[in-house]
Structure 1
Amino acid sequence: MRKLLFTIGILIGLGEICANVVVLDAAGHGDYATMSDAIANSGTGDTIYVVGSAASYGNFTLSTERTFIGNGYYGQSIGYSSSSSLGNITLNPGAANSVFSNLEIGTITFNESNITFDACIIGGSFTIGSSISNISYSRCLFTSPIYVQSSSVSFSNSIFNYASSGNGVTVSGGSSPAFDYCTFFDGNISFDASIVSNSVVNSSRVGQTPVVVTDGVSGNKVDTEANLLFETSLGNDGYFQLQSGSPGKTSSQTGAESGAFGYPTGQPENAYLLSGLPAIPKITALEFESSSNSSSNLSIRIQATTN
């Protein structure tokens, strides 16, 4: 009886420290093949690994906390079969503390606060309203106009890549979101009040009264040659590889004139991540003994691959 109670205690302990993880794979090799099934059959706070697929996993509404981790938004460019692509996402009350990482995402509708995005490409236009707070973007790529009306929003080490005409980023309503170590390409970047520091800015209009982004102020750099930073013929995001003669070759790693490949001094882990690939290992095999007891070691063999 004593040994049985000990074994149960170990199992309970493992249940408490191990998060539930489900695998979403449209090809049918995971736990579920559709996003609706993956969400319905996982619990609050669980993690959903999104395997790359030739087709998007589609639109969905989230009303409970989840963590979504993909294989990158252009994973197929460097050997992965396909990107981890989602459609339009609606974040409803209850989705607070959710995390989206290494994914391609369409439009985002915010009806909830406290959401984190890391190493994602955001392809759809969206608005963060004044009632929404604590939205964080790091190492992300934005390709459609966004509208920020909330002060409690932060963008770091991110790229805003727009056509040369029309609005790119519009900050309004007296809000003051933070843009740190970001790069703006073309498009109209319109701020009526904001904190913009340590960024490379290149756009057809930078700032509106009362805020103007000025070269050399708070580490900002208004760079008329920002179009020379990266290669331009390597796909939609150009992989953002620095081209020969790029001003980023000498400044972007210092943290002073940051931009796309820059990062705060001493924090290389916060640099922009090429093609949104996750920095975590992928477990390919797991083997362990079918039985053991309290007086012997339990042998476990894990096989994994990294990027």
Structure 2
Amino acid sequence: METLYNRSNSWESTFSNTFKVCFLSLMVFTFSQTKSFGEIRRVNNQLTTNHSQRIYATLQEAHNFASEGDTLMVEGSTIEYGNLEMTKRLTVIGTGYFLLENPNTSASNTLSIFNVIYVKATAKGSVFIGLVFGTRNGNHTFLIEADDLLIMRSLISNNLQIWNTVKNIKIIQNYFSRTGSSVFFMGTANLGFSDITFDNNILNGNLTAGFSSIQRTFTSIQNNILNGSVDITTTTFRNNIITSQNTNYTINSSNNQNNLFRGNNPLATINGNQIYNENQLFVGPTSASTDGQYVLKSDSPYLTAGYQGAQPGIFGGNTPYVLSGLPAIPSIYELDVATFGSQENGLNIKIKAKTNN
């Protein structure tokens, strides 16, 4: 979609605000076609708080003034955002990640980088999309006490830390960058979880739950790239691509089907599971982005190796992975502004934008 705007009459002083209002109006329209997101509140730590315009300089301030069901649009910044303690149901949307690596992502390549989001039990039902967690220390992550969460299209550099017995958390289309440890960290040994959906993620660490005497069960683990070890109990384990050659997998599932394994594994001989040939699978890192390297080759024999002939890996299934974790709102990926303008003829602005399903 391309749109050409011509602005006149004091364009020098009003262009920036007008452009932002137009874009935010476009986002509001998109939201209204899907579900109610309440009030939209802008968060930008390089601006001054303006309550009348619903602009906030800190995450916590935006949260405190928000009502249940509101949306916090966290804009890209060269300054990291601080901590957020959530006590109410909100939607938090950032800019996505790897914006310089993939084409047509955003005209601005600055990220919404978070430190800690502490999701208290009263924030049940919250949604998180397009966030990036910093990597400076082990505290950059989610601390979770609430049920019924959706965590999607985010770059998570640490464990998801569970500090309560929780249920019904959907973790989809994320990129987990940390290696050498489990995606889950349990605050205490007696905590459990249930009804966890873990689909269409890229995981560089381990997918383990541990402590089999305590209920830590998944409903669905499907269409993931798993680069570490696996030790889980789940209803469905299907269409995953396991790239590690670690043969110590413990997968307790009644639907362990159509997964691709890199190395020799007894699971790869039953229920449509198989060992893949590395040269015939991914396009690879030399010709693609950090997350785009997991696209299957156009001539790969594994394109239909998933359950009932579906595509295995992150780009298959009901929630295919979206490059760079772009939120499902319109994004402007090219902005061309004329060098000169006038009150008579206006200022020519060419915008290229797209929606992200």
Specify if TM > 0.5.
yes
Contact 1:127 1:147 in 2 (8 A): yes
SS at match of 1:133: strand
C-alpha distance 34-176 of structure 1, shift in aligned 2 (>3 A): same
C-alpha distance 96-193 of structure 1, shift in aligned 2 (>3 A): closer
SS at match of 1:215: helix
Contact 1:91 1:109 in 2 (8 A): yes
Aligned CA RMSD, in angstroms, stands at: 3.5
1:223 and 2:276 equivalent? Answer: yes
Name the stretch that deviates more: 125-134 or 52-61.
Answer: 125-134
Give the equivalent residue in structure 1 for 2:166. 132
Task: Provide the C-alpha distance between the structure 2 equivalents of 1:226 and 1:68, rounded to a whole number of angstroms.
Answer: 40
Percentage of pairs with the same residue: 23
1:198 and 2:239 equivalent? Answer: yes
Structure-to-structure mapping, 1:1-307, within 5 angstroms: 19-28=38-47, 31-77=55-101, 78=105, 79-105=107-133, 106-128=140-162, 131-144=165-178, 145-147=182-184, 149-162=192-205, 168-172=206-210, 173=212, 174-177=215-218, 178-185=220-227, 187-191=228-232, 195-203=236-244, 204-208=246-250, 214-215=267-268, 217=270, 220-223=273-276, 225=278, 229-233=282-286, 237-240=290-293, 242=295, 247=300, 250-251=303-304, 256-264=310-318, 270-281=319-330, 305-306=353-354
Give the equivalent residue in structure 2 for 1:7. none
Task: Provide the C-alpha distance between the structure 1 equivalents of 2:203 and 2:226, rounded to a whole number of angstroms.
Answer: 5
Contact 1:69 1:101 in 2 (8 A): yes
Contact 1:107 1:122 in 2 (8 A): yes
Task: Provide the C-alpha distance between the structure 2 equivalents of 1:97 and 1:210, rounded to a whole number of angstroms.
Answer: 28
Contact 2:230 2:251 in 1 (8 A): no
One-letter code aligned to 1:24: V
SS at match of 1:61: strand
Name the stretch that deviates more: 55-64 or 206-215.
Answer: 206-215
Runs of 5+ unmatched residues, structure 2 = 1-31, 49-53, 134-139, 186-191, 260-266, 333-350
Task: Provide the C-alpha distance between the structure 2 equivalents of 1:210 and 1:60, rounded to a whole number of angstroms.
Answer: 36
Task: Provide the C-alpha distance between the structure 2 equivalents of 1:246 and 1:88, rounded to a whole number of angstroms.
Answer: 42
* TM-score, length basis structure 1: 0.72
SS at match of 2:55: coil
Deviations 1:119-177 (A, max 9, x none): 11221113446711011011111223313742211111111124xxxxx1112335331
Task: Provide the C-alpha distance between the structure 2 equivalents of 1:104 and 1:117, rounded to a whole number of angstroms.
Answer: 12
* TM-score, length basis structure 2: 0.63
Contact 1:68 1:101 in 2 (8 A): yes
Name the stretch that deviates more: 152-161 or 190-199.
Answer: 190-199
SS at match of 1:117: strand
Q: How many pairs were matched up? A: 262
Task: Provide the C-alpha distance between the structure 1 equivalents of 2:115 and 2:299, rounded to a whole number of angstroms.
Answer: 34
Contact 2:141 2:161 in 1 (8 A): no
C-alpha distance 93-151 of structure 1, shift in aligned 2 (>3 A): closer
Task: Provide the C-alpha distance between the structure 2 equivalents of 1:107 and 1:255, rounded to a whole number of angstroms.
Answer: 36
Task: Provide the C-alpha distance between the structure 2 equivalents of 1:304 and 1:47, rounded to a whole number of angstroms.
Answer: 25
Deviations 1:16-57 (A, max 9, x none): x77211011123187112111211221111001111112321
C-alpha distance 243-189 of structure 1, shift in aligned 2 (>3 A): same
One-letter code aligned to 1:37: E
Give the equivalent residue in structure 2 for 1:293. none
- Residue 59 of structure 1 deviates from its aligned partner by 2.1
Task: Provide the C-alpha distance between the structure 1 equivalents of 2:305 and 2:77, rounded to a whole number of angstroms.
Answer: 34
One-letter code aligned to 1:278: P
One-letter code aligned to 1:143: S
One-letter code aligned to 2:238: S
Runs of 5+ unmatched residues, structure 1 = 1-13, 163-167, 265-269, 284-302
